[in-house]
Structure 1
Amino acid sequence: MGNNLSDELRQLQQEAFDYFLNEVNLANGLILDKTALNWPASIAATGLALACYPVAVERGLMTREAAIARTLATLRFFWQSPQGPEPEATGYKGFYYHFLDMTTGRRAWQCELSTIDSALLYAGALAAAVYFDAADAREREISEIADALYRRADWQWALNGGATVTHGWKPESGFLEYRWEGYNEALLLYVLGLGSPTHPLPESSYAAWTSTYRWESCYGYEYLYAGPLFTHQLSHVWIDFRGIQDAYMPGKGIDYFENSRRATYVQRAYAIENPRKFEGYRECCWGITASEGPGPATLKSKGIEREFYDYVGRGVPYGPDDGTLAPWAVVASLPFAPEIVLQAIDYCIHQAKLKTLNRYGFKAAFNPTHPGEPGNPYGWWVSPWHFGLNQGPIVLMIENYQSGLLWNLMRRCPHITAGLRRAGFSGGWLSATRPSLPADRAFS
């Protein structure tokens, strides 16, 4: 990124944060999932926004007073919104529906009550509670509501009588058939569920989850396998896994942070080999993850018939892969492997010009193999949208790389440290953190 490396990262961070400044309902704090017409809010994007506001205050992107106002509006909405088994509620058993109407805050699209998206919302709320710690009445209210929201979640209910946590629930049909299996973003979910002082997951549920892990060797790197790149990043947005290990990792000789570093290098190695011969893939052009794409469509490109997908969990090395890359997922690996990530960010900015004509930094995805619409300014397909779920990790992982702000905040969150300990984590910074939990308190 040349001599302006730090400046360009700061600019990218600010542009990504502008999404949260603008794509919001100020009355309830809800953040738009996607910049498409009549689209609903995403509780995950809203949780990311809550974590981004402290960064914005520290970086001069908004005043502390403005951040307090937004955070309070968000937390008050979730605390006061209807909880119950009715199909049009906002949540149930302390969890929330994946998508909510931007105006009413009620369930949208008959979507599921989502355990992972609720976890991302709680993580954002807890980050806000740690940051806004002044004696001022409004900052105390942030801490009290965030704590109350977290304590209300019934993690034991979310087990549905099984060993591992379910993906979610619908009032029309009950629990979803899927449970969290294999290494993925559920690492954060389990830490939060285990740390609950009211309805905690049993420690056996974490062991049941890690028993489904797959350890593999790809391109000379041994690592805990998960295909999409975001699965190696999302839990790390909040938790600093450097130097701490659970029962699984000592036998492998690494920690989860090193695992994510290796997964990042696997992505690059896959792009260099480019086994499916897509356009553009090389050492500075990678980032295969769950993302939107140019499909569904089948097109012939340079004599090869290609199948292109819409939103799908693209992954490395086993696919699916249709040539679609996500620049935000490259940025979110910045703390793990800056020596290769900075080169890829530089490519996205200066050669692929993926910030050109874009209001919020990088668009969600691009595909150099797909021609896109005739006359498009890039010469290949570029997503027309921005997603809140993509913007948050850009803001937060640039900050963790440069200052460790969110990591340091969450080290001070007693629920996170309690969850890590109950999951069997020890060593490193966790050993130096005094185990404690706040006194029980009721908020109404």
Structure 2
Amino acid sequence: MKYIFPIFLLLSVASHAQKKNIAATKAFPDSIAPVGIIKNLSDAELLDVVQRQTFRFFWHGAHPVSGLALERDNTVHAEYYWDYINEAWDEPNFSKSTFGPDAGAIGGTGFGIMATIVAVERGWIGRDTAVGRLIKIADFLTHADCYHGIYPHFMNGRTGKAIPFDRLDDGADLVETSYLMMGFLCAREYFNKDVPKEKYLRNRITAMWGAANWNWHTNNQNKLFWHWSPNNGFDMNFPIWGWNECLITYILSASSPYHAISKEAYDGSWVGSAGFKNGKEYYGYTLPLGNYDKDKGGPLFFEQYTFQGIDPNGLIDSLGNDYFMQGKNHTLINRAYCIENPNRFKGYSEKCWGLTAGDSYKGYLAHSPENDRGVIQPTAAISSMPYTPKESMEALRYFYYQLGDKIWGPYGFADGFSFEHNWYAKTHLAIDEGPIVTMIENYRSGLLWKLFMSIPDVQNGLKKLGFKSPWIKENK
């Protein structure tokens, strides 16, 4: 079934959706109704539609007890809501989640918090309602499993207990916690009114930020380790090597007011790793970072997760690496690879591109030029909007108007698709949905960048690690 709506339905609800969404409205204040394919949208209108509908994943799809972002939308509890979705959107066919129906994603929750700020700023939900949701999350996390102030990768959204990722990874996850803190710190900046609820939220966030012991994860070495377990200690033995999605982890670890790492830890396991520096040219574009001789930069989420909060514009490290150039060139290399399409997969083109981690017909995989399975993730091109606005908008229009109801649903674009295998995902993942909302917003207004880069602790952390940025006061 294909839905074509006139433009005025952006702010209204079809009669069918109105009737079926009564229960959802009661459960979710400031309920946001989904829309289908709307003809003849301008670029700005289309960005509104995509951001708004994608945000529904975090607003309507959150865990009903804790408010945490679920790992993916096939973990949803609200049966009445899925009855509505099944009728309105033709057999979503959600599959069983790997980690069970209560699996909350800590990093995905951080992305969702940033998306909530966008939703308030854009007027999709009320400010007070949003603050109430964020307090719900913060209060829940205050009593949930936490190890030296660091949270696990996945958490039971009903009980607050850690969900083991594997036998050794059953405790603290420093990287996922950095995404959570990035979101909360943005919220602390945005919800700055002198009213009781916002003051309470800021105090909760400040307590979490101060309690997070980043330095614990050095294990008294000049390295930063990804995991710690109350049962296994540092047995995972997995330093956070660069280049990848973890730059934000080092920045926040250096920014902590009470438990900061030294610059030596950053130099020892990030800048000092064999995978940090590149400098080679692919398809005419120089790639400053990432020692991927065969991989052409790796999956595109490397350039998106950190930079939801960190502004890459004018960001230069002590070695002279330009982080906007890194993000732009990596994206253009990924697109050029898809246009070349050496494996001759169906459908790849200058409009249909984007390899990153996400769901595929083989399960969840980190797609890249080196690991190309013929699967495109819409988030890859769309979340690259700040780096490649023309190319990303061209891809977004293709996904929305040419593929339409094959991948467009109540939470925006499905996680992946493959013409080669005639496969279209029915799932949406928190860590893929969040960057769509936030990176489009950073392209449009720079909202999250303005909030995060204005934080004195963050500026101190960047300076400590040797970064220069227009946001750092001493560099102005």
TM-score, with length taken from structure 2: 0.80
Task: Describe the SS at the equivalent of 2:404.
Answer: coil
The one-character-per-residue Cα deviations of 1:36-68 (angstroms, maximum 9, x if unpaired) are 244311011111121122111111111001011
What are the equivalent positions in structure 2 for 1:276-291 lying under 5 Å apart? 276-291=343-358
Task: Describe the SS at the equivalent of 2:409.
Answer: coil
Change (3 A) 1:156 1:270: same
Percent identical: 32
Whether 1:18 and 2:85 are equivalent positions in the alignment is no
Whether 1:93 and 2:144 are equivalent positions in the alignment is no
Compute the displacement of 1:214 (Å).
Answer: 2.9
Compute the displacement of 1:356 (Å).
Answer: 5.0
On the 8 A contact 1:264/1:337 being kept in 2, the answer is: yes
Change (3 A) 1:24 1:271: same
Change (3 A) 1:354 1:228: farther
Match of 1:293 in 2: 360
On the 8 A contact 1:100/1:107 being kept in 2, the answer is: yes
Whether 1:4 and 2:42 are equivalent positions in the alignment is yes
Whether 1:48 and 2:103 are equivalent positions in the alignment is no
On the 8 A contact 1:26/1:73 being kept in 2, the answer is: no
On the 8 A contact 1:330/1:341 being kept in 2, the answer is: yes
On the 8 A contact 1:244/1:430 being kept in 2, the answer is: no
Match of 1:58 in 2: 121
On the 8 A contact 1:355/1:361 being kept in 2, the answer is: no
On the 8 A contact 1:244/1:429 being kept in 2, the answer is: no
Distance 1:114 1:27 in 2: 22
Task: Describe the SS at the equivalent of 2:231.
Answer: coil
Task: Describe the SS at the equivalent of 2:42.
Answer: helix
Letter in 2 for 1:338: P
On the 8 A contact 2:468/2:475 being kept in 1, the answer is: no
The one-character-per-residue Cα deviations of 1:163-193 (angstroms, maximum 9, x if unpaired) are 2211212333222222111211111111100
Match of 2:12 in 1: none
Distance 1:334 1:184 in 2: 19
Compute the displacement of 1:293 (Å).
Answer: 1.1
Compute the displacement of 1:276 (Å).
Answer: 1.4
Match of 1:373 in 2: none
Whether 1:220 and 2:284 are equivalent positions in the alignment is yes
Task: Describe the SS at the equivalent of 1:291.
Answer: strand
Match of 2:16 in 1: none
On the 8 A contact 1:355/1:362 being kept in 2, the answer is: no
Match of 2:200 in 1: 141
Match of 1:412 in 2: 454
Q: Which moved more, 1:108-117 or 1:191-200?
A: 108-117
On the 8 A contact 1:291/1:314 being kept in 2, the answer is: yes
Superposition RMSD on alpha carbons, in Å? 1.8
Letter in 2 for 1:246: D
Compute the displacement of 1:339 (Å).
Answer: 1.5
The one-character-per-residue Cα deviations of 1:61-111 (angstroms, maximum 9, x if unpaired) are 110010110111111221233xxxxxxxx1211111111112112112455
Change (3 A) 1:165 1:277: same
Compute the displacement of 1:274 (Å).
Answer: 0.8
Match of 1:272 in 2: 339
Letter in 2 for 1:260: G
Match of 2:312 in 1: 241
Q: How many residues are matched?
A: 397
Q: Which runs of 5+ in 1 are unaligned?
A: 82-89, 296-309, 371-379, 435-444
Letter in 2 for 1:162: Q
On the 8 A contact 1:330/1:344 being kept in 2, the answer is: yes
Task: Describe the SS at the equivalent of 2:311.
Answer: coil
Distance 1:156 1:357 in 2: 43
Aligned counterpart for 1:336 among listed residues 387, 397, 400 = 387
Q: Which moved more, 1:56-65 or 1:30-39?
A: 30-39
Task: Describe the SS at the equivalent of 1:336.
Answer: coil
Match of 1:31 in 2: 69
Aligned counterpart for 2:230 among listed residues 171, 180, 195 = 171
On the 8 A contact 1:166/1:179 being kept in 2, the answer is: yes
Match of 2:160 in 1: 105
Letter in 2 for 1:157: W
Letter in 2 for 1:125: F
Compute the displacement of 1:427 (Å).
Answer: 4.0
Match of 1:300 in 2: none
Compute the displacement of 1:141 (Å).
Answer: 1.6
Aligned counterpart for 1:365 among listed residues 413, 416, 424 = 416
TM-score, with length taken from structure 1: 0.86
